[in-house]
Amino acid sequence: MADRFRLTIAQLNPVLGDLAGNAAQARDAWEQGKAAGADMVALPEMFIAGYSPQDLPSKNAFTLDCMAAVRQLAEDCADGPTLAIGTPWVEGTELYNAYVICRGGKITTQVFKHHLPNYEVFDELRIYDSGPIGGPYAVGNTRVGSPVCEDAWYEDVAETLAETGAEFLLVPNGSPYHRDKYETRLNKMVARVIETGLPLIYVNMTGGQDDQIFDGGSFVLNPHGQVAVQLPVFEEVVAHVDLERTESGWRALEGDFTRHPDSMEQDYNAMVVALRDYCRKTGFGKVLLGLSGGIDSALVATIAVDALGAGNVRCVMLPSEYTSEHSLEDAKACAEALGCHYDFVPITPGRDAITATLAPLFEGLKPDLTEENIQSRLRGLLLMAMSNKFGEMLLTTGNKSEVAVGYATIYGDMAGGYNPIKDLYKTRVFDICRWRNANHRGWMSGPGAAPIPERIITKPPSAELRADQKDSDSLPDYPVLDGILKILVDDDGSIADCVAAGYDRADAKKVEHLLYISEYKRFQSAPGARLSKRAFWLDRRYPIVNRWRDNS
């Protein structure tokens, strides 16, 4: 019996639907494993397709193309280590989320995912069939068990594999990021190794896909839960893991161990990765945004520069007579600190033309929200015109607090193709800005010095659509608003829960009302980076028409 086993794990970033490109990444990882003398090279869950493909595997042509790509990959990787890769797979009339084992030019084993997640962003029950709980597969004279992602969150699959002879567990994953997700994964996997007494290798992908970000952070556990290897987050890494047979079974030797940053840095990194990959994978090289002199647009501009480089970011100030001198100065200072292109496009002439056009219809009616929204929608029109003309994707800049209560103008400041801060509450926007001003990392393309002028962070937030306007005129102060939203949205709590937490019932009812009547806006809003377990879109699905209110 062999006393050593070398496993190459590939924490890589697939592009959904780019089967040839994903196969090329897998071949490159396999070549690295071969050069390093690996017995096996492991890619993440559903890697050939990209994850999550949502309903794409329901198209038989797509799944057949994925299967053909894996068969060709098996042929290409015939002379060397075993290759394991995730793919959709059709067997008879059933469609599976499969982990395919390739050896000697052929597919030797298919492992079909048994537990299909149907919560948060996951919807696998409506797409895939549940596979049987099977036994391990052989790699040489070593028996390996592969619970596919969710299968390792329950004890039955791992225990069956251990009972039928698995010598270690290799868990392929497409596990998306949310704040503090790593600790949850680690705790679940520690439970599996304690229950089975087997080492466990957890392989996760990295990179952005629509609203989701995959953070990598692959790791290796020995029995009793000791971490032998821990890979970095938000980075592509090919690493070699050595296991050694001892009198008490296989044990992983200690290898690379990267300490993970705190949640503030991980959130910021996630937003940068999400925007960079969204642009790269959709074909946009440049972006633009309206830079108002406020904190939200300043943060989005900073994320964009860190993601794409200053030369690929256009900032546009679109002032009216309500724009303060401070905002004019702060927007220009921020653009200059970031080093990006800055345009100055006043909206007054266009607004006057629209007002004159509507004057006969509006005669005798007092100015109200209509006139405020005209300003916002005119800005959206001008920014979209620039987006069309220059081929630059427009970024929208509404934070989660505003998205929640509809404090944004549909077809106005909500216009855009992507929103990097969509899942960031306003209070955390302030915290992230302070963090970024104090920190610079090698993965940031922006300046090392504080890019966000201090006055942008300290002044009272305002939409500046009328004289002396402040956000607090329309909403509870942001610490109160965010506290209530965290109960109603993140925790699915009640009005009674808000009152029990010390918030005024009238404030809670107002926020609840705004939350429900703004659902139609969220249905039409741009996608944005998912940072929490209750991001708007797949995590939280509510009807637009809804008369129910919580009277607790």
290 carries a ligand binding annotation: yes
Distance of CA 531 to the CA centre of its chain: 6
**CA–CA gap between residue 205 and residue 70 (Å, rounded):** 18
Q: Is 373 annotated as a binding residue?
A: yes
Q: Residue 512's closest CA among 458, 550, 457, 552? A: 550
Tokens describing residue 64? 């057949």
490 assigned ligand-binding residue: no
Q: Going by DSSP bridges, is the β-strand pair 206-209/212-215 parallel, antiparallel, or unpaired?
A: antiparallel
CB 204 within 8 A of CB 523: no
The answer to whether the annotation marks 291 as part of a ligand binding site is yes
State yes or no: 397 annotated in a binding site.
yes
The answer on whether 295 is annotated among ligand-binding residues is yes
Which residue in 102, 113, 167, 498 is the catalytic one? 113
113 tagged catalytic: yes
Is 366 marked active-site?
no
The reply to whether 324 sits in an annotated binding site is no
- Beta-carbon contacts of 30 under 8 Å, excluding residues fewer than 6 positions away, are 8, 41, 77, 80, 81, 83
Q: Does the annotation place 512 within a ligand binding site?
A: no
* Separation between Cα atoms, residue 368 and residue 160, nearest integer Å: 67
Reply yes or no on whether 45 is catalytic.
yes
296 labelled binding-site residue: yes
Q: How many helices (H) and strands (E) does the chain have?
A: 16, 19
Residue 294 in marked binding region: yes
**What backbone phi and psi angles, to 5 degrees, belong to 6?**
-105, 125
Known binder of ligand: residue 426? no
- Which 3 state secondary structure label does DSSP give 501? coil
- Is 369 a known ligand-binding residue? no
CA distance 250 to 243: 6
Tokens of 149: 């992602």
For residue 48, give the nearest of 97, 81, 91 by alpha carbon: 97
CA distances from residue 91 to 67, 72, 103, 131 in whole angstroms, order as listed = 11, 18, 20, 10
Query: Could you give the residue ranges of the DSSP H alpha helices within 177-294?
Result: 181-196, 263-282
Distances (CA, A) of 549 to 84, 91, 505, 515: 50, 47, 13, 11
Catalytic residue from among 45, 392, 464, 512: 45
In contact, 488 and 512? CB cutoff 8 Å:
yes
CA distance 249 to 480: 55
| Active-site residue (options: 66, 77, 102, 149) | 149
Q: Does 462 belong to an annotated binding site?
A: no
Annotated binding site for L-glutamine: 119, 175, 181
Q: Which residues are catalytic?
A: 45, 113, 149
Annotated binding site: 119, 175, 181, 290-297, 373, 397, 402, 521
Annotated binding-site residue numbers for ATP: 290-297, 397
Residues contributing to the annotated binding site for deamido-NAD(+):
373, 402, 521
